[in-house]
A and B are shown apart, each in its own frame.
Chain A
Amino acid sequence: MVARKSVLARTISTPIILTLILLAVAGLSLWVNNGIFTRTIVEVFIRVMVVVGLYTFIGNSGVVSFGHIGFMCMGAYATAWFTIPPAMKKYSLRGLPEIISHNQLSFSLSITLATLFAGIFAYLFGKILVRLSGITGSIATFAMLAMINTVYSNWETVTGATSSIVGIPRKTDLWTGFAGAELAVIVAYLYAISRSGLALRSARDEAIAAAASGVDIARERLKAFVVSGMILGAAGALYAHFLGVLTPDAFYLGLTFISLSMLVVGGMNSLSGAVVGVVVLSAIIELLRTLEKGIAIGNQTWALPHGTQEIAIGGVMIVILIFRPSGLTRNQELSWSGWPFSERSSRQKSSIKDGVSEGASA
């Protein structure tokens, strides 16, 4: 028998294909060359970060988390604290410690610190939450989200409470967005093929067997929780620099719903599913958004009523869950060998390239 290739060699095609997809999206934006469209694409890249971050925890551990958008909120506000000009934040955010309110950090340093900030809180929350599994775990993450939202919507002097804070430099452009998304994909991929990632997926599929084989489920979950919390923190920071304005309610149930639905539609247990889900649903959302604004047919403007977008997404999500619960990618990774959309024939191949692609049985 030939010596088995390393996990990296067997699965490397996945991140390469995903990078190509992201490059194609960026290329589309350059081709269209329209300011509004470019902003849409940057938003898509940020969503890729968010959903890939969600996948890192949800996909590997099998525990559905409703709380991760909270870390995005933390990352976004952290970078706002660091980068709003001191002259502004002295008045709008009086409660900040002096070292923060008197200084202004550079874009890259601020993003790094915001990511770490989210990471620290992910560690603290994770320490407690990873012990809970299944539905109880999901509801506890929901409690976490509500907790973070309550704090950020009430801490007048530090977060500006429910009024929006302004003055964040709008620095996220197409290529920073692309770099963020690409980095998120690479980190998620490296985590998924790491020892911890493999152990966690084994625990997801067979908790008892994994525990009996010496997998410390809580510890591995915590690692995934922190990694995904940091990705979301970074995504939040980039989002803050994209919008320039922040309110806590931007990071609550609505965003949780959209990003979870992207993950579900793509396929919860695969990294490719996360990226595919974002691309497909973003396209649908964009289309509906245009229709909601109204299009001119002849001399009449015809528009869909507001809310159609969300109703359609909810509908798509339910239909996918009914007819294809493993998502568009069937929880397989995109790779050179074996087309992911092919029928069961890829089953056997997928058992060989076990790196990031064994979610099909979940």
Chain B
Amino acid sequence: MTEIIQIIIDALSLGSLYALGALGIALIFGVMRLVNFAHGDTIAFCVFALLWPSIDAAAVVFAGHLPTVLLIPLILLIGAGLSVLSEIIVFRRFRKANPATMMIASFALGFVIRYFLLMLYSSRPKSINLWESLGESIGFLGARVPLLQIVTVAITLGILGLLTLFLKRSRYGLEMRAAAENFTMARMLGVRANRVIMLAFALSGMLAATTGLILVTQTGTVDIQMGASVMLIAFIATVIGGLGSLTGAVTAGYLIGAASVLMQVVLPLDARPFRDAFVYGAVIVTLIWRPNGLFVARSAKQRV
């Protein structure tokens, strides 16, 4: 029984991480059909903001020393800032481009951000201890679970709740949903395109910051590549969930988390290192079965 609880918590916390990542990508895709490859590098950027730029092997902690009440808003602000900045400098010029062009542009932007970090901090992974007390295990329904996992799940659920409220109850949320549904029509009805898109980028950047903070607390290391694997899964989650569907992205994030944890348990010992390969394989199979994803957004239906 305790084992099952352990597995469920593992699945939920991993799924939360993926869901946050997927949400950051889906939000932007919804308003401007952009698959944002730079999201992973935005995550890494937010984490590196904890450190002072130096190419030494030892991490020079800077913002990381701030008290939590200041630290979290600061990192969120940095994430939102970078994200909005990339919108203003780069993506704004691609309003009329096709999605493939935008996707490649974001891929390029991601590399620019990554190598900017490399320039300032070198490519060596560095270690940093953030909120060490979260690493302790606590008793939970008879199982010993790291506190961090519980916190991750709780934070994610909180964010999902707030975001839902924002999207369903506020005027800006309404505008965003309208823009996601039919961008041209929404503009004609008085929704300001740039404002909605910038809002989506800001939210997505804050989600990236949250993902980054959770990641760095989990692993204790900072690495310029750290966003890449989460981003990859997050993409896949947005596609499986149905491009353009926020519910779909979150659900698929949790599904992939659950699938990974399950495979870790079920697969024979020899095959375990290949767990991710099985997950990606399952993803491809799902796409064949439902090319438009599990939850098809109304705006995404194609005729052919």
Q: Judging by beta carbons under 8 Å apart, are B239 and A135 in contact?
A: yes
- Which residues of A are found within 8 Å of B73, using beta-carbon distances? none
* Cβ of B114 to closest chain A Cβ, rounded Å: 8
Q: Judging by beta carbons under 8 Å apart, are B111 and A314 in contact?
A: yes
Most A Cβ at <10 Å: residue of B99, B112, B118, B122: B112
Q: Judging by beta carbons under 8 Å apart, are A321 and B97 in contact?
A: yes
Chain A residues touching B, majority SS: helix
Asked if B58 is at the interface of the complex by the 8 Å CB criterion, the answer is no
List CB contacts (< 8 Å) of B240-297 with chain A.
243, 273-274, 276-277, 280-281, 283-285, 287-288, 291-293
Most A Cβ at <10 Å: residue of B108, B116, B293: B108
Q: Judging by beta carbons under 8 Å apart, are B103 and A64 in contact?
A: yes
Asked if B115 is at the interface of the complex by the 8 Å CB criterion, the answer is yes
* Cβ of B107 to closest chain A Cβ, rounded Å: 7
Interface size on A, residues (CB 8 A): 45
Q: Judging by beta carbons under 8 Å apart, are A307 and B119 in contact?
A: yes
> How far does the alpha carbon of A143 sit from the alpha carbon of B236 in the complex, in Å?
7
> How far does the alpha carbon of A305 sit from the alpha carbon of B276 in the complex, in Å?
35
Asked if B45 is at the interface of the complex by the 8 Å CB criterion, the answer is no
Q: Count A/B pairs, Cβ under 8 Å.
A: 129
* Cβ of A306 to closest chain B Cβ, rounded Å: 6
Q: Judging by beta carbons under 8 Å apart, are A307 and B115 in contact?
A: yes
Q: Judging by beta carbons under 8 Å apart, are A260 and B119 in contact?
A: no
Q: Judging by beta carbons under 8 Å apart, are B109 and A314 in contact?
A: yes
> How far does the alpha carbon of A62 sit from the alpha carbon of B119 in the complex, in Å?
35
> How far does the alpha carbon of A154 sit from the alpha carbon of B104 in the complex, in Å?
29
- Which residues of A are found within 8 Å of B169, using beta-carbon distances? none
Asked if A128 is at the interface of the complex by the 8 Å CB criterion, the answer is yes
Q: Judging by beta carbons under 8 Å apart, are A321 and B236 in contact?
A: no
Q: Judging by beta carbons under 8 Å apart, are A311 and B115 in contact?
A: yes
Q: Judging by beta carbons under 8 Å apart, are A314 and B287 in contact?
A: no
Asked if B94 is at the interface of the complex by the 8 Å CB criterion, the answer is yes
Q: Judging by beta carbons under 8 Å apart, are B277 and A151 in contact?
A: yes
- Which residues of A are found within 8 Å of B293, using beta-carbon distances? 136
Q: Judging by beta carbons under 8 Å apart, are A146 and B100 in contact?
A: no
- Which residues of A are found within 8 Å of B276, using beta-carbon distances? 146-147, 150
List CB contacts (< 8 Å) of B65-105 with chain A.
90, 93-94, 97, 99-101, 103-105
Q: Judging by beta carbons under 8 Å apart, are A307 and B116 in contact?
A: yes
Q: Judging by beta carbons under 8 Å apart, are A321 and B112 in contact?
A: no
> How far does the alpha carbon of A310 sit from the alpha carbon of B235 in the complex, in Å?
23
Output the nearest chain B residue to A326 by Cβ-Cβ distance. Answer: B101
Q: Judging by beta carbons under 8 Å apart, are B235 and A142 in contact?
A: yes
- Which residues of A are found within 8 Å of B277, using beta-carbon distances? 147, 150-151, 154
> How far does the alpha carbon of A144 sit from the alpha carbon of B284 in the complex, in Å?
8
Residues on B lying within 8 angstroms of A by beta carbon are 35, 90, 93-94, 97, 99-101, 103-105, 107-109, 111-112, 114-116, 118-119, 122, 228, 232, 235-236, 239, 243, 273-274, 276-277, 280-281, 283-285, 287-288, 291-293, 303-304
Query: Nearest 5 pairs between A and B by C-beta?
Result: A154-B273, A314-B112, A307-B119, A307-B115, A310-B115
Residues on A lying within 8 angstroms of B by beta carbon are 62, 64, 66, 128-129, 131-132, 134-136, 138-140, 142-144, 146-147, 150-151, 154-155, 207-208, 211, 253, 257, 260-261, 264, 305-311, 313-315, 317-318, 321-322, 325
For this complex, 19 residue pairs linking A to B, each with C-beta atoms less than 8 Å apart, are A66-B107, A132-B287, A134-B99, A135-B239, A135-B243, A136-B293, A143-B283, A150-B280, A151-B277, A154-B274, A155-B273, A207-B304, A261-B108, A306-B119, A307-B115, A307-B116, A311-B112, A311-B119, A314-B109
